[in-house]
Copies of this chain bind each other. A is one copy, B any other.
Amino acid sequence: MFSEKHGDAIDLSHHLSAIARARLESPLKGMAKYLGKPGLISLAGGLPSPAYFPFASVSGEVLAYDSFSLKTSPESSSSWFWNWFSGSRSKERTTTVTIGKYPKQPEDINLASSLQYGLAKGLPQLQDILNEFVRKVYQPAYGNWTTLVHTGNTDGWGKVVLTLFNPGEGLLCSEWTYPSAMASAIPFSVTPVPVKMDSQGMRSDDLRRILEEWDDQTRGMLRPRVLYTVPVGQNPTGATMLEERKKEIYEICVEYDIIIVEDDPYYFLQVGPYVLKSERDQEKDLSSASDDVFIAGLAPSYLKVDYQGRVIRLDTFSKTIAPGSRLGWFTCNPMFAERLERAAETSTQAPCGFGQALVTSALLEWKYDGYIRWLKGLRAEYKQRRDYLVDCLADEFHLRPVVGTHGYRAGTIMYEASLKPPKGIFVDFKEKDTLYSRIFSLVPPTAGMFVWLEMHFDDHPSFAELGYKKLEMKLWIALVEAGILFGPGQMFAATPVTDETDGTGHFRVSFSFNDNDELHKAVSIFGTVVRKFFSSRV
């Protein structure tokens, strides 16, 4: 079935929404054959003279691509951060990139171009970088894929919603999903259709069941044609989907003619399985591998199995450079890219020229190999952060490893957390697992920025009376009052949680931002609050 590899995309134009079909051709298209004339004086557009741009140049001090060690310890990372913050920037190595108003060489990034009205495709130098990156890293399985910049994955997904959906249609997604993605689609009368999850995220068997059993009348809508997925470091559960599962889901999408939208901000934050602190010094990690082995060791993109061009992949610089760069890109077939470009022309136009020029200059300074090294360093940092947060939980609670049997934990190692006995009280080891009831359980995430805690409110003395939704909010408020803010689990449900919804409650806990001291303090507060919260009726 993968024999068509490196053929071109098949015709998928029947997937375009009425809005996307009605997007006007660029007026330039009809005139294109006249515009290439050398020396043509254009008085057609409303371009300000670059003489009026009030920036003579823009510069950035770019960190060395190997600023972060591939073998981080909590201490090295933390001290680096605090050196930074306190102004003693001894360890920091930077190169200055400067973007002048006019190019010295024709290919130079320059403000006269970057700050001018430009094609929605963005800077040509950036296009080249993106194409090289996609070809080497994601290795699409068909020939005529293309890239197109957007202003971050939220914008990218928003444009996809307008391009693919007609009002009243359904959107296949995981049962736990990124709420902002749903908030982009729902106002356009799009209804989330949740698919059950296991430890790799979306389950292929449940996807097939939904599509096989689909009945327009019962469901009140046509069978969905679009699947939204965060396959790596799934938000909120942290699950990562491997190649075999992606192939299964892809083949179902071929069979039922479904477009896959792969929102993949955490691709390079694939930190691997959690290894207990005591065994970590024997851990084999991808960090020291060559670039090719490193990339081959990551779960592949859906692009790698996409031999028909039915995947729209969303990449962003938000996690790898900075969220404020508001810069990312689509990789998809040229038919979708053309319609998405038309959508950009009448909304965002090209991404910000300051951001494009500075990010592109940094990437040109680092080159491809340097950028991969930067990403390896970032990955090592996030691995340290993930490990540190789970270590803190393992210190604060008694964590018991079990094999998950249900839902998104099925078949994976998870940890059930119970309270430790109060200090000074001796408890026989064998009794530990039964003496104190479960508070929460977790699967340490293999990618991304979050630990997803399943709270065992069903073991809470007020469960029968209040249900888990109210208990989740009560504990959430108690935690805020004690000084820590978690993401309440019900925000992440694909369909709204009601008092009657079956379940046990969740929190999403981020390890991306805070330093180790804050993470440690937060876990300690969490321990104190839940010890009290679970001890009596609330």
Contact = CB atoms under 8 A, between A and B. Distances in A.
A85 B102 contact: yes
Contact of A486 (B43, B84, B374): B43
Interface in A181-239: 183-184, 186-189, 235
Contacts of A44: 485-487, 508, 510
A246 to B, nearest CB: 23
A73 interface: no
A46 B449 contact: yes
Contacts of A45: 487, 510, 513
A461 interface: no
Contacts of A46: 235, 448-450, 510, 512
Contacts of A485: 34-35, 40-44
Interface stretch (A54-62, A292-300, A306-314, A428-436): A54-62
A89 interface: yes
Interface stretch (A318-326, A406-414, A527-535): A318-326
Interface stretch (A21-29, A138-146, A463-471): A21-29
Interface stretch (A125-133, A273-281, A343-351): A343-351
Interface in A2-45: 18-20, 22-24, 27, 34-35, 37, 39-45
Nearest to A35: B485
A60 B52 contact: no
A489 to B, nearest CB: 11
Contacts of A519: 43
Max chain B CB contacts within 10 Å: which of A35, A186, A348, A350? A348
Interface in A50-71: 50-63, 67-68
Nearest to A58: B60
A510 B325 contact: no
B56 A89 contact: yes
A369 interface: no
Given A326-B350, A352-B151, A345 B183 contact: yes
A350 to B, nearest CB: 7
A1 interface: no
A70 B196 CA distance: 68
B116 A48 contact: no
- Residue from the set A102, A117, A486 with the largest chain B CB neighbour count within 10 Å: A117
A57 B60 CA distance: 6
A480 B22 CA distance: 29
Contacts of A374: 54
Centre residue among A322, A353, A511 by max chain B CB count within 10 A: A322
In the complex, the count of this chain's copies comes to 2
A371 to B, nearest CB: 10
Majority-rule SS of A interface residues: mixed
B345 A180 contact: yes
A272 interface: no
Contacts of A301: none
Contact of A40 (B53, B483, B515): B483
Instruction: Output the residue of A48, A68, A483, A511 with the most chain B CB within 10 A.
Output: A48
A49 interface: yes
A84 B101 contact: yes
A48 B375 CA distance: 14
Nearest to A182: B24
Contacts of A184: 346-347
Contacts of A487: 43-45
A350 B355 CA distance: 13
A299 to B, nearest CB: 19
Of the candidates A22, A358, A513, A518, the one having the most CB atoms from chain B within 10 angstroms of its own CB is A513
Contacts of A450: 46
Interface of A: 18-20, 22-24, 27, 34-35, 37, 39-63, 67-68, 80-81, 84-85, 87, 89, 92, 94, 101-102, 111, 114-118, 151-152, 154-155, 158-159, 179-180, 183-184, 186-189, 235, 318-319, 321-327, 345-359, 362, 374, 378, 381, 448-450, 477, 480-481, 483-487, 491, 508-515, 518-519, 521-522, 525
Given A40-B484, A154-B347, 18 more contacts: A22-B188, A37-B480, A37-B483, A46-B235, A48-B513, A49-B515, A54-B321, A54-B322, A55-B63, A58-B60, A117-B324, A151-B151, A151-B349, A154-B346, A155-B348, A158-B346, A158-B347, A325-B354
25 contacts: A22-B187, A22-B189, A34-B481, A37-B483, A41-B525, A42-B485, A43-B484, A45-B510, A46-B448, A48-B322, A49-B513, A52-B322, A53-B322, A54-B63, A115-B323, A115-B324, A117-B323, A152-B349, A154-B345, A155-B348, A184-B347, A324-B352, A324-B353, A348-B348, A353-B355
Q: What 7 pairs between A and B have smallest CB-CB spacing?
A: A324-B353, A352-B352, A115-B324, A115-B322, A22-B187, A184-B346, A158-B347
